[in-house]
């Protein structure tokens, strides 16, 4: 072609092409991730009944909640490499079928060992989903458009709380002792089985690549591939062997550690923190748990839009991390004051929600397409150590002191340190050059 397809396409045509991709991919991925996060965090709502029924201490609960992320850390890289070999459509569908069945099987738990085993296996099954979807998005959208798109996908995290909080609280109350099952058992069953059906839908509807998308014209495919190829020329990590040796990768691991501390403190302990602030009914805890997530949805979209419009990444990540740390510190100040606890959780939820998609704009600035599967999975896996630490640390501290405040202060400090690390990332590399 004498001129690139990008040059020949008008701005309106390019925007229309990306709009088509967004509507074709994002609704399905969004719903899938809602259930992925819901099946990950509904253990926080189950705790309100499950720990009493089974005689679990806060330490047992915290360890079981965190073991998910031990498995996530161990199997993230192998799962993403398998996705490269098998293809996104088939691998993601298989993961969803397996984790849907495992999540439902949590209703059968009777002992701490069974709880630990199922949570670990659930982490194995989910380990490749989130990094796999990120890899997929990086191969469909250029950097300048990825902030809003990743936010649209990651908004499923707070939306899982907006929907899952009231839903889980309602199930716990209304289904309690129905048919001889406790409310928490019904919750695992009702929220786990739909994932199996979604997995079958993914197998039928998700295209493996741009080239296999029948709803794009040949010209549109060329335009998309050229836009992505131009970005590849600026990447510094082009071989898998370089990933572990690059200092920027380890800097990103440290930042993601802070992001995961923020996200998972909210996810696994918010219902308990609200309950111990004086809110007794499970349904009320569920409704109040939705507020930080709802505020997080709006803030996440605003931050993603602002980041793409201004072409700036670092401060759009550092500020939400600082908000999350400050919110957790506020929550720790007066754990018996429901107003201060809720205000702190809303601020922390807004920050954590926005930080997650904004972080994932940074790794593709360094990782070439050939190294993204391993690099993204590696960063995600190391970050899962923090996801294990947050619920376990709070559980241990609560058992020892009957309060989570000391642990919340420590987590807030580590999250603030993560915000400082963000600003150590070179702005010239991570800020998008073009749309």
Average pLDDT over residues 323-333: 93
What is the distance between the alpha carbons of residues 154 and 156, in angstroms, rounded to a whole number?
Answer: 5
pLDDT of res. 6: 45
Residue 236 has pLDDT above 60, yes or no: no
Average pLDDT over residues 208-213: 86
What is the set of domains in the chain, with CATH numbers? 10-430 (1.20.1250.20)
pLDDT of res. 391: 65
pLDDT of res. 305: 87
Asked if residue 357 lies in contact with residue 153, where contact means CB atoms within 8 angstroms, the answer is yes
Which helix (H) or strand (E) covers residue 220, if one does?
helix 218-232
- Tens of pLDDT, residues 96-151: 999 999 999 999 999 999 999 999 999 899 888 888 888 888 788 887 777 778 77
pLDDT of res. 363: 86
pLDDT of res. 312: 92
Average pLDDT over residues 274-289: 80
Tokens of 206: 């998700």
pLDDT of res. 235: 59
Tell me the pLDDT of the chain averaged across its residues: 84
Cα 164 to Cα 26, 27, 128, 145, 191, distances in angstroms: 20, 18, 22, 29, 9
Percent of the chain with pLDDT over 90: 24
Residue 377 has pLDDT above 80, yes or no: no
Asked if residue 317 lies in contact with residue 423, where contact means CB atoms within 8 angstroms, the answer is no
Average pLDDT over residues 8-25: 80
What is the distance between the alpha carbons of residues 144 and 141, in angstroms, rounded to a whole number?
Answer: 8
Residue located via tokens 């550092």: 318
- Tens of pLDDT, residues 160-208: 777 877 888 888 888 888 888 998 999 999 999 999 999 999 998 888 8
Residue 5 has pLDDT above 80, yes or no: no
Residue 280 has pLDDT above 90, yes or no: no
Pairwise pLDDT comparison (432 vs 293), residue with the higher score: 293
């Amino acid at each position: 072609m004498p001129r690139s397809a990008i040059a020949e396409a008008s701005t309106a045509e390019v925007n229309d092409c990306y709009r088509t991709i967004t509507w074709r991919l994002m609704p399905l991925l969004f719903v899938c991730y809602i259930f992925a996060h819901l099946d990950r965090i509904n253990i926080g709502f189950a705790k309100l009944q499950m720990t009493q029924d089974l005689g679990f201490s806060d330490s047992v609960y915290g360890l079981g909640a965190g073991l998910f992320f031990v498995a996530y850390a161990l199997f993230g890289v192998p799962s993403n490499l398998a996705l490269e070999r098998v293809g996104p459509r088939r691998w993601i569908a298989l993961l969803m079928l397996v984790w849907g069945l495992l999540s439902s099987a949590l209703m059968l738990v009777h002992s701490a060992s069974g709880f630990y085993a199922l949570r670990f296996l659930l982490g194995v099954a989910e380990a490749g989903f989130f990094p796999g979807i990120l890899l997929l998005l990086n191969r469909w959208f250029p950097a300048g458009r990825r902030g809003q798109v990743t936010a649209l996908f990651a908004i499923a995290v707070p939306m899982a709380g907006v929907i899952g909080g009231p839903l889980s609280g309602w199930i716990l109350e209304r289904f309690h002792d129905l048919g001889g099952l406790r409310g928490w058992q019904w919750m695992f069953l009702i929220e786990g089985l739909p994932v199996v059906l979604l997995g079958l839908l993914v197998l039928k509807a998700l295209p493996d690549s741009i080239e296999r998308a029948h709803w794009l014209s040949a010209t549109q495919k060329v335009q998309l591939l050229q836009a992505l190829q131009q970005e590849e020329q600026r990447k510094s990590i082009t071989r898998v062997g370089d990933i572990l040796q690059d200092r920027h990768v380890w800097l990103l691991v440290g930042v993601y550690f802070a992001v995961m501390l923020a996200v998972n403190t909210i996810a696994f302990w918010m219902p308990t923190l609200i309950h111990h602030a004086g809110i007794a009914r499970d349904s009320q805890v569920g409704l109040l748990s939705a507020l930080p997530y709802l505020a997080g949805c709006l803030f996440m979209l605003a931050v993603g839009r602002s980041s793409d419009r201004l072409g700036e990444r670092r401060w759009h990540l550092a500020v939400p991390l600082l908000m999350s740390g400050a919110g957790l510190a506020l929550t720790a100040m007066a754990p018996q004051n429901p107003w201060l606890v809720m205000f702190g959780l809303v601020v922390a939820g807004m920050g954590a929600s926005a930080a997650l998609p904004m972080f994932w704009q940074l790794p593709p600035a360094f990782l070439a397409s050939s190294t993204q599967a391993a690099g993204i999975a590696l960063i995600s896996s190391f970050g899962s150590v923090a996801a294990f630490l947050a619920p376990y640390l709070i559980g241990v501290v609560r058992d020892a002191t009957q309060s989570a405040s000391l642990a919340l202060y420590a987590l807030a400090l580590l999250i603030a340190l993560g915000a400082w690390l963000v600003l150590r990332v070179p702005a010239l590399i991570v800020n998008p050059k073009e749309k």
